[in-house]
Structure 1
């Protein structure tokens, strides 16, 4: 029997694949647990429509991410940090503070987990912070750190 998988099944296949399995395995395991459906013409057509819809949504998300990356290219935010003796930086700027400053200054809702920072910023000046907007798109935001 041919089955269209609705979820990933270990040692059988990934979601959306059409696999050939024994009738008993399909009737007793895959179909009752809603891991797959029988590969009829209607189910194959539904699968094709779902894939087309998923591809369209993925393309829209990629376009939105590219647009946001271009928008971020010319923008910068200013973050204040305390200075110790002799103008030396006291403390550090984390991704949480950068995300909060972007929301406040630019009205951009950036997820702090998407900011790709090796470690916190510990010096004054302008720093380029990469932002992972999509698996294929990385934008850069200029962060200017000044004395408070």
Structure 2
């Protein structure tokens, strides 16, 4: 299936890229989430406009992304997990949405949960590092302390 990406998709491409993906991936993931549109002749003409707009946003957003990364570097984030066993193992796991809520509660800048990359699953109490991809050129590590409530 030939698609035109409308948003940045990790390990696939940037907005405006024409990609060839398997039918199920396109039909069940990319199209319902509006991350891509079908590649038709009319849509292919819009690729130049999408790439131009993306390039203008990147230049404008790079400085802002660095500013947000600086704000996140000075932040102390604590995630309160619902419950944990005696050994410190959580009954469940900490998700990217939990990290975003904790950043917002700590007074940090608003970030998108899709930009947060949680390594594997956080299933224990303690300090963990998560990666936040703010821009294709700007990523930052955030220390997250998980405590049982």
- The answer to whether TM tops 0.5 is yes
Aligned to 2:117: 116
Which one is further off, 80-89 or 95-104?
Answer: 80-89
Matches of 1:54 and 1:124, distance apart in 2: 40
Gaps of 5+ in 1: 1-7, 11-29, 37-46
Matches of 1:90 and 1:54, distance apart in 2: 42
Give secondary structure in 1 for the equivalent of 2:92. coil
As a proportion of its length, which structure holds more helix? 1
CA RMSD of aligned residues (A): 3.1
Gaps of 5+ in 2: 1-15, 19-40
As a proportion of its length, which structure holds more strand? 2
* TM-score (normalised: structure 2): 0.58
Matches of 2:108 and 2:71, distance apart in 1: 12
Q: 1:93 to 1:135 in 2, by over 3 A?
A: same
Matches of 1:54 and 1:87, distance apart in 2: 45
How many residues align? The count is: 107
Matches of 2:95 and 2:54, distance apart in 1: 35
Larger-gyration structure (1/2):
1
* TM-score (normalised: structure 1): 0.59
Structure 1 moving runs of 4+ over 6 Å: none
Aligned to 1:77: 77
Deviations 1:125-144 (A, max 9, x none): 11111100001100122111
